């Protein structure tokens, strides 16, 4: 089997390629193709914050339901749904993103 020819490029071209590969995209593409670990870490951090807020809203609604006996604020089915979504959100979407945000 023939060995592939090495790609020979000039120093200037190689530097320009390197620059292009590692530069951040502009506009909306920046959110879908981040290059720097710091940017990716910040995105995880913000995502974790958003899910903590959403899970927190559910926790507050659960707390209201539990604040009085025989309370009909949520009702049994919605209580179970909010409980489940709160738990899953906090573990997988908040904690998952928060712990990954520090791993860059
Ligand atoms: C890291 C994971 C979690 C965080 C940060 C978190 C956070 C919170 C917070 C801040 C509250 C409000 C506290 C209160 O109202 O007394 C709360 C309440 C609650 N959470 Fe979580 N939670 C997590 C995981 C879970 C899981 C896995 C479940 C169940 C599967 C769960 C079930 C509940 C329930 C039932 C309440 C209402 C308790 C009450 O108010 O008496 N949470 N959570």
Question: How far away, in angstroms, is 41 Cα from ligand 1 center?
Answer: 26
CB-ligand 1 contact for 64 (6 Å cutoff): no
pLDDT in tens, 37-46: 998 999 999 9
How far apart (Å, rounded) are the C-alpha atoms in residues 98 and 73?
Answer: 31
Q: Please state the pTM of the whole predicted model.
A: 0.81
Summarised one tens digit per residue, pLDDT across range 86-103 is 999 999 999 999 999 887
Angstrom distance (rounded) from CA 44 to CA 15? 31
63 lines ligand 1 (CB under 6 A): yes
What average pLDDT does the segment 48-70 reach? 98
For ligand 1, say whether the CB of 88 is within 6 Å of any of its atoms.
no
**Confidence bin at 1 (pLDDT 50/70/90):** low
> Domain boundaries in the chain?
34-101
User: Residues with Cβ < 8 Å from 38, sequence gap 6 or more?
Assistant: 104
pLDDT band at 6; cut points 50, 70, 90: confident
- At 54 the three-state DSSP class reads helix
If you write DSSP's letter for every residue of 12-35 in order, what string do you get? Answer: HHHHHHHHHHHSPPPGGGGGTS--
Give the Å distance between the CA of 97 and the centre of ligand 1: 17
Instruction: Supply 64's token pair.
Output: 């209201």
């Amino acid at each position: 089997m023939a060995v592939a020819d090495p790609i020979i490029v000039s120093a200037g071209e190689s530097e320009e390629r390197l620059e292009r590969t590692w530069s951040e995209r502009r506009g909306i593409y920046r959110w879908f193709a981040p290059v720097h670990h710091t940017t990716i870490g910040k995105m995880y951090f913000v995502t974790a914050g958003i899910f903590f807020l959403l899970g927190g809203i559910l926790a507050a609604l659960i707390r209201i339901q539990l604040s009085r006996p025989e309370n009909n604020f949520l009702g049994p089915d919605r209580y179970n749904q909010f409980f489940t979504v709160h738990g899953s959100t906090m573990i997988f979407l908040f904690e998952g993103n928060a712990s990954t945000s520090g791993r860059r």
